[in-house]
Structure 1
Amino acid sequence: MSVIMPRAVTPDASFLCELVIGYGRDSSGNPHVRISHPEVGWNGSTVTVERLLLGLAHGLGLAYGHAYPDAGRLLHYVPPIWALDYGHPDTALNMPPPPRGWQTLVRFRGFTFARVNLDPNLPALPQDQRLFTGRIGLRTNVPASLI
């Protein structure tokens, strides 16, 4: 009898604190948040970490490649907390404080582009099959107790 394991596993709070999160802008000035894990690609941990990153990408509603479709999830901002809703029933991805310019841009535009990278250290141009992207809207009128 064989056991079928899911490819993507929804991460919990213990995994989220290990993520590497970066902020930036593209050539059009659109804000980006980049998410990766430093251990992806190392022998011994690749399968588990990759499955958790796939779960995060799936929960955020991201898609393969560089298209950045509407993800259907939200970035919540309750000063000073920035948190991504990735579909987990009990937790959100609380992000480290972004640079002030990035915060201003996201609040002005009302969205950010997000990418989850399955390769370590956020390479500038990862392969499409190792990158999940999407456009995530901003919500500022959420009770702090929800994040």
Structure 2
Amino acid sequence: MKKWSVLCFVFVSIFLANCKKVEVTDTPTTPDATISVLTTNPWKVNKITDLNGNTIDKNLLPTEVKSFFEVYIYFKEDKTVRALDPVALTVQQGGAWDLLDNSKTLYIDLGKTFKGNYPINKLDRARMSLRHTAVYSGLNFDVFLELVPAI
């Protein structure tokens, strides 16, 4: 009986060792998939967090960063982007966007307040998380812009 238990243990160990670990990722892996997720719906900034995920009080943010909360962002397939006032439904700013670094970075140009390269931390149909370096009183600090669908 003891030999049987050892033999079963060896087979189970070999089986488990040969199982491939399936890596689950929320971020699309191809440019076409990323474009599809970006352009499906408008986005709005839901919150801004530090790199540990702690929400930063909106009132403590610089004015230019606070303005992120006031618009819906529409990414179009023709690589244009629009920031719309959600109440008046008027275009506040327009510009361009592009994917860089094998779809790992999102370049957004919406004028002075929302321009630059934003590394993609997470992207799926329910949430987008972009890394942003904010400047406040001459100091740089990294945050995550947490966006959700604006529908």
- TM-score, reference length from structure 2: 0.30
- TM-score, reference length from structure 1: 0.31
More strand by share: 2
**Larger radius of gyration between Structure 1 and Structure 2:** 2
Of structures 1 and 2, the one with the larger relative CO (CA 8 A, separation 6+) is 1
